Structure 1
Amino acid sequence: MPTSHARTERAALAELLRVLGPDAPTLCAGWTTRDLAAHLVVREHRPDSAPGIMLAPLAGYTEKVRLRQAAKPYEQSVRQVADGPPKLSVFGIPGVDAAANTMEYFIHLEDVRRAQPGGAEPRELDPELTEILWKRARGAARMALRGVPVGVALRRTDTATGQPAQTVHKGTPVVTLSGHPGELLLYLFGRKDQARVEIEGEAAAIETLRTARTGL
């Protein structure tokens, strides 16, 4: 049976949440592990609050639902994260969990790992997971970089032979990000200070990308 990387990343994150407890820092601004666990539970168990993740006018309701979950026992939230989506959730549909959660749980696992005192080195990832993250980085770039006024190209550096950069966001001038697919994904989704990437381009364009809001 093929490996479910979404489940593997979920299990690793749930275990780390258990070990660290509710008050550990994360890379999600203002959120502790308690807050992150609540977000993950609400995302899968409360579809009525999902629009607020993307739509600013509804964000207040989404946050209200998340805070209500965060007020519940932390162990309960972590257990729900570990158990996965409920059967009636869209994330419980075969194939949807892998498509929607592999990137989500990879990023949030790194949010917790790298926020701890002393940080954490990038993990050595399964080659199959690496290919999935490369596909996600290219596919999600348009959404992650919406509104960014400069072009962006991605070049992966984990392969034995040099790979040409691939333009994922149109604009001029172009900034090129080089790194492991997982690191490129982290950069695109706002973890710019922690992502291990090399950046090439005009200084002003690099600064524009560095300071632009990216991700969801």
Structure 2
Amino acid sequence: MTPDQVWQAIDTQRANLCDLLADLGDDQWRQPSLCAGWTVRDVAAHLTLQQLGPAAVLAQMLKWRGSIDRTTAHAARLRATALTTEQTIAEIRATIGSRRHIFGVTHLETLCDILVHSQDIAIPLGRSLDMPADAAAVAAGRALSMRWPPPLPSVKAMAGFRLTATDTSWSTGDGPTVQGPMAALLLACCGRLAALPQLSGDGAAELTTLLTAQSTARRP
């Protein structure tokens, strides 16, 4: 995908997510997301923080909580408390059409963030939110090759497998085969256990064991 196509995919996913969020009741905003310890509201609030400049990023780092994960979670919860439901949706919608991204990352991290976090919200609520296979392939490639920001622990687990998409021309890695829809492979690359039932192949059971153990170890 070209940068223009990536930004178009980001805009489409942002718009679709805003429509989904606008349809949720108060109880649903309080439901747990796929991010351990994060509510739907926390994830949505996090997505309002995707265009921070250098000064704002520094301000977040001055509130360091011992790791990037904990610092990011803390910032999301503060934001969730500060914004109303309507303000949260409006702020995400206001980013549509903009090509700004948070200082220190690229548009590819922005793509990965919106694709994965949209599913973090939709899946536990039983909602369907389409994820284009070509965009998911680009995001998965970025997640697996990332050196900064530090890659997720799940990336290390994926390294021992041959990942193959069943709905687009994409594969990577060496080892036992794990195959499935591209969206499910992206979610698995990002440590989302909810995607594992969609995967198959001679390496699927082993990958499930590894990712489940990682998830258990990281629980607060």
TM normalised by structure 2 equals: 0.69
Q: Deviations over 1:21-60 (max 9, x none)?
A: 43244212222221112211234344236669xx944555
Distance 1:166 1:86 in 2: 32
Distance 1:68 1:202 in 2: 38
- Report the counterpart of residue 109 of structure 1 in structure 2: 118
- Equivalent position amino acid for 2:200 in 1: E
Q: As a proportion of its length, which structure holds more strand?
A: 1
Q: As a proportion of its length, which structure holds more helix?
A: 2
2:141 to 138, 141, 153: 138
Over 3 Å counting, the alpha-carbon distance change for 1:40 and 1:153 in structure 2 is same
Q: Structure 2: which 5+ runs fail to align? A: 146-150, 216-220
Over 3 Å counting, the alpha-carbon distance change for 1:83 and 1:191 in structure 2 is same
1:148 to 137, 154, 157: 157
Q: Secondary structure at the match of 1:151?
A: coil
1:28 to 7, 29, 35: 35
Matched, 1:185 2:216: no
Q: Which protein has the larger Cα radius of gyration, Structure 1 or Structure 2?
A: 1
Matched, 1:11 2:15: yes
- Report the counterpart of residue 201 of structure 1 in structure 2: 203
Q: Secondary structure at the match of 1:48?
A: helix
Over 3 Å counting, the alpha-carbon distance change for 1:56 and 1:178 in structure 2 is farther
Distance 2:177 2:189 in 1: 12
Over 3 Å counting, the alpha-carbon distance change for 1:192 and 1:62 in structure 2 is closer
Contact in 1 for aligned 2:32/2:39 (Cα 8 Å): yes
TM normalised by structure 1 equals: 0.70
User: Quick one: percent identity of the two aligned structures?
Assistant: 23
Q: Structure 1: which 5+ runs fail to align? A: 169-173
Q: Deviations over 1:71-114 (max 9, x none)?
A: 1222212211111189795459xxx54x3322221112212221
Matched, 1:41 2:24: no
Contact in 1 for aligned 2:164/2:180 (Cα 8 Å): yes
Count of residue pairs the alignment pairs up:
195
Distance 1:87 1:202 in 2: 39
| Aligned-pair CA distance for 1:210 | 3.9
Contact in 1 for aligned 2:118/2:129 (Cα 8 Å): no
Distance 1:12 1:202 in 2: 31
Distance 1:103 1:190 in 2: 13
